[in-house]
Amino acid sequence: MNGHQVEIPERDETIRLGPFLRHEREKMNLSQDEIAQKIRLRRFIVEAIENEAWERLPPPVFVKGFVRSYAKTLELDEKKVLDLYYRTAPPAPEILKPVDVTRASHRVRILVLLLVVAVLGCIAYFWHVKTSMRDRENLSTAERAAPVQRELSRPDEQEKVMTSTVPAPVPETIRSTPPEQRAEKQEQPAEQISAPASVGEPPALILKALVKETTWISIRVDGEEPREFIFQPGARPQWKASKGFEIVVGNAAGVDFELDGKSMENLGQPGQVVRLTLPEGSEPRASEE
């Protein structure tokens, strides 16, 4: 859908994105709540876009997808609305380039080497102190045991030790039982106690995600209140549900999903907003915003 044509002067700096979208929304007699429901976003995001409160919104890569969905809902020219966003929104922060490690000075390498030597020296010192303390403890234990052994060498002490080590009488029930039967009783394992399995509990749905690019995700589990996340590349979050999931992805190219072993890849283009309802019928389906 290309949308109806809206004249937006290219050089008119007085036209702002937020008031323009608010004006077009009010012309269609739509509230912010209705717009948020149509594009499946939280109301505060719609309000922040109309107020141009960029600090309350995710990074620009996601905001561009929100603005495109907003324009599509109002049947506006998405390209012209995005051009207005570029003129209105603050510039994206520059990404600092990593420092070339090959330009590290000779002095820095020497300091690193000295630091490594100092750490190894501390480890060796504490190991020596610990070993010395253990040797002293073993020596003091042996010295305390020596007088006891000398006392036991006297005849009267030997008699006490022999008297105290006389075995206790064996109970009559044990003496009357043949050795073969006693061995059989000892070999019988104890009864295993296991908790009863729950009956009628629905099987759990496991949704896994592999994040490839910085991605904003809103997910609703079993119809509960949706939760929002901003994941970095390499993250592998997962969720469990008994009924299903409702998902809004702010960067369709930044994440792949897997539901109970079934992969869902290549959901869309970078910055594209995609909504998923899983499972839907027998096959999960993605719908673009």
Q: Order of strands, edge to edge, in the sheet holding 285-288? A: 227-231, 215-221, 245-249, 274-278, 285-288
88, 117, 149: which is the final residue of a domain?
Answer: 88
- Digit-coded pLDDT (tens) for 244-277: 999 999 999 999 999 988 898 988 999 898 998 9
56, 88, 120: which is the final residue of a domain?
Answer: 88
CATH of the domain at 42: 1.10.260.40
Indicate the pTM of the whole model: 0.38
63, 88, 113: which is the final residue of a domain?
Answer: 88
Residue 45 has phi, psi (to 5 degrees) of -70, -45
Residue 42 has phi, psi (to 5 degrees) of -70, 150
Is 63 a domain residue? yes
Domain range for 273: 205-288
Is 124 a domain residue? no
- Digit-coded pLDDT (tens) for 108-117: 788 888 888 7
- CA 187 – CA 231 distance, rounded (Å): 56
Q: In the numeric block, which tokens belong to residue 184?
A: 């059989």
Is 215 a domain residue? yes
Is 40 a domain residue? yes
Q: How high is the pLDDT of residue 282?
A: 41
- Per-position b or e across 172-204, b if 16+ CB within 10 A of its CB: eeeeeeeeeeeeeeeeeeeeeeeeeeeeeeeee
Is 249 a domain residue? yes
In single-letter form, the type of residue at position 136 comes to: R
Q: How many domains does the chain have?
A: 2
Is 120 a domain residue? no
Is 221 a domain residue? yes
